[in-house]
Structure 1
């Protein structure tokens, strides 16, 4: 008898003792891999907002992750005027779910492009 094994066949890798734990760990890792990155969320939010409203976001002035997903504040040109400093701008709050899908938006304020915010203690 010989103690040598046939090395042309691949050897089985050791299997985890609890395959349920292994599956859960892999699912958690896959979920983390599919979670959108902040820049992806910003790009997608701007694209979705533009598609829904027809107004392109000129800038994002606020961006944060919340318990419900993401919250952004975007500035848009609502009405172009001449001179440009008289154009009407608007600030919108945009809400997204954890996957970066737009779930709602609302206009916070309108203002002329050339006007600075009045200083108001304690908020907007």
Structure 2
């Protein structure tokens, strides 16, 4: 059974011109949206920190929700050495907002890869 109403998802042809009613897109590419969950927030943070530092983070050692986004500790290789256990890493505190945009980052610690944290 065919519907009398035209389908809204059809794209108008170039001949139909601008005056033709069009269906609104599901979302604009420039619209900001909330990232869904810690994993998505951290993928976004790692990508942005990598771009700023020019180094790909090795891991995310912690992540926690905050009032308006996420906060994480991201581990970055800063100086590669031989043997690998003497390479220098840094831990960065990274904050992203609810949309996954980087708000701040701060280096909180530098250490050699072979160093083990000892309880105090």
Shared fold, TM over 0.5: yes
Structure 1 pair 9–74 and aligned structure 2 pair: CA distance change class (3 A):
closer
Query: Aligned equivalents of 1:117 and 1:107: distance in 2?
Result: 17
Greater length-normalized contact order (CA 8 Å, ≥ 6 residues apart): 2
Match of 1:84 in 2: 84
5+ long unaligned stretches in structure 1 = 1-7, 11-29
Between Structure 1 and Structure 2, how many residues are aligned? 91
Task: Give the number of the structure whose residues are more often helix, by fraction.
Answer: 1
Query: Aligned equivalents of 1:50 and 1:41: distance in 2?
Result: 14
Query: Aligned equivalents of 2:4 and 2:84: distance in 1?
Result: 75
Match of 1:58 in 2: 58
Query: Aligned equivalents of 2:90 and 2:68: distance in 1?
Result: 24
Match of 1:35 in 2: 34
Q: What is the TM-score of this pair, normalised by structure 2? A: 0.69
5+ long unaligned stretches in structure 2 = 6-26, 28-32
Match of 2:118 in 1: 118
Match of 1:104 in 2: 104
Match of 1:4 in 2: none
Q: What is the TM-score of this pair, normalised by structure 1? A: 0.67
Shift of the alpha carbon at 1:69?
A: 1.1
Query: Aligned equivalents of 1:9 and 1:106: distance in 2?
Result: 60
Match of 1:3 in 2: none
RMSD over aligned CA atoms reads 1.8
